[in-house]
């Protein structure tokens, strides 16, 4: 095998190429006689098969969609997986036909998000044997991100806000659920907070106190109605929240490592490649 050329390829001058400065082409390593096994070649050790449904944002009988375990630089990066332990060329006719439908449906769902211009669909398959397709959303107006380097920009750009990321996940999951399956991602909950003080609140009254049943001179309210209002106020002048007012965090999907094809030990979702 000849050594790698010393001249840089033309794409380093493309506007979409994310690097500049002095670059050097790596030397090409010799070809191996036997390629190493991919993760999940044996179904018994497949991370995707072992992952629980709650590691995904949407699931159905035959397909599942997962996300990263944290926001990244693009508005959305998702992975479509078959539930069965199959690779692309192993799909029976039914799943092969459904793969086309699911690809179009997921592309439309992601493209419906605010600020998304295009959706790139990639399949590599060098890291993991379980079928998985990547869906990457290119931000609208970011022409420098057009083309084949979008996945690199995803690692370079500052991550979007977690609130926006979770909302996007919930919207995509809800879109898919309109056609079947189950949406598992939820939007971030608003943390309603009661005012710390109530300046115009009447004085607190406790059990055993004598209550005048006449009208209040300042407010025109009866003391009986005042005592009822005070019953909903705590001793510090704060309203007592109900259980339903507590904020709940949405489930966090998993993260991929595009180079090593591994996932953090804490992540339940399968690795990608």
Question: So what's the pLDDT on residue 149?
Answer: 82
What pTM does this model have? 0.65
pLDDT: is 108 or 238 the higher one? 108
Strand partners, 122: 134
pLDDT of res. 207: 55
Instruction: Give the confidence band of 3 by pLDDT, cuts at 50, 70, 90.
Output: low
**pLDDT digit string, tens, across residues 218-237:** 444 444 443 433 344 333 33
Beta carbons within 10 angstroms of residue 201's beta carbon: 14
Whole-number pLDDT of residue 15: 75
Give the pLDDT of residue 53: 96
Residue 224: CA count within 13 A, CB half-sphere: 2
- pLDDT score, position 43: 87
Q: Which whole number is the average pLDDT over 107-134?
A: 94
Mean pLDDT of 26-38: 88
Write phi, then psi, for 183 (nearest 5 degrees): -80, 130
State the SS3 of the chain: CCCCCCCCCHHHHCCCCCCCCCCCCCCCCCCCCCCCCCECCCHHHCHHHHCCHHHCCEECCCEEEEECCCCCCCCCEEEEEECCCCCHHHCCHHHHHHHHHHHHHHHHHHHCCCCEEEEEEECCCCCECCCEEEEEEEECCCHHHCCCCHHHHHHHCCCCCHHHHHHHHHHHHHHHHCCCCEECCCCCCCCCCCCCCCCCCCCCCCCCCCCCCCECCCCCCEHHHHHHHHCCECCCCCECCCHHHCCCCCCCCCCCCCCCCCCCCCCCCCCCC
Measure the CA–CA gap between 68 and 70, rounded to whole angstroms: 5
Residue-wise pLDDT for 63-105, tens only, equals 999 999 999 999 999 999 999 999 999 999 999 999 999 999 9
CB atoms within 10 A of CB 79: 24
pLDDT by residue (tens digit) across 131-183? 999 999 999 999 988 888 888 888 889 999 999 999 999 999 999 999 999 99
Separation between Cα atoms, residue 167 and residue 113, nearest integer Å: 10
Contact between 119 and 107 under an 8 Å Cβ cutoff? The reply is yes
Task: Give the closest residue to 114 by CA, choosing from 143, 140, 145, 133.
Answer: 140
Roughly how many angstroms between the first and final C-alpha of the chain, as a whole number?
26
Nearest to 127 by CA among 167, 174, 79, 170: 79
- pLDDT (tens digit, 9 = 90+) per residue, 175-218? 999 999 999 998 777 666 655 554 555 554 545 555 555 544 44
Length of the chain: 273
């Amino acid at each position: 095998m000849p050594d790698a050329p010393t001249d840089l390829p033309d794409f380093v001058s493309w506007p979409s190429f994310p690097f500049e400065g002095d670059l050097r082409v790596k030397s090409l390593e010799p070809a191996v006689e036997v390629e190493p096994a991919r993760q999940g070649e044996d179904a018994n050790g497949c991370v995707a098969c072992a992952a629980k449904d709650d590691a995904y944002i949407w699931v159905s009988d035959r397909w599942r969609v997962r996300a990263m375990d944290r926001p990244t630089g693009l508005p959305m990066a998702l992975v479509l997986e078959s539930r069965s332990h199959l690779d692309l060329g192993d799909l029976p006719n039914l799943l092969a036909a459904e793969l086309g439908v699911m690809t179009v449906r997921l592309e439309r769902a992601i493209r419906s998000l605010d600020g998304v211009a295009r959706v790139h669909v990639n399949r590599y398959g060098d890291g993991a044997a379980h079928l998985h397709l990547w869906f990457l959303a290119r931000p609208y107006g970011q022409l420098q991100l057009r083309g084949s380097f979008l996945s690199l920009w995803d690692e370079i750009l500052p991550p979007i806000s977690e609130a926006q990321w979770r909302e996007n996940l919930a919207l995509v999951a809800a879109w898919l659920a309109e056609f079947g399956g189950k949406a598992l991602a939820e939007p971030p909950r608003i943390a309603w907070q009661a005012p710390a003080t109530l300046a115009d609140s009447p004085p607190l009254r406790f059990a055993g106190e004598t209550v005048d049943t006449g009208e209040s001179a300042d407010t025109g309210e009866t003391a009986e109605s005042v005592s009822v209002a005070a019953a909903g106020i705590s001793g510090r002048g704060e309203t007592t929240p109900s259980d339903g007012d507590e904020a709940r965090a949405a489930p966090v999907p998993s993260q991929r490592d595009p180079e090593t094809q591994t996932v953090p030990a804490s992540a339940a979702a399968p690795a990608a490649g």
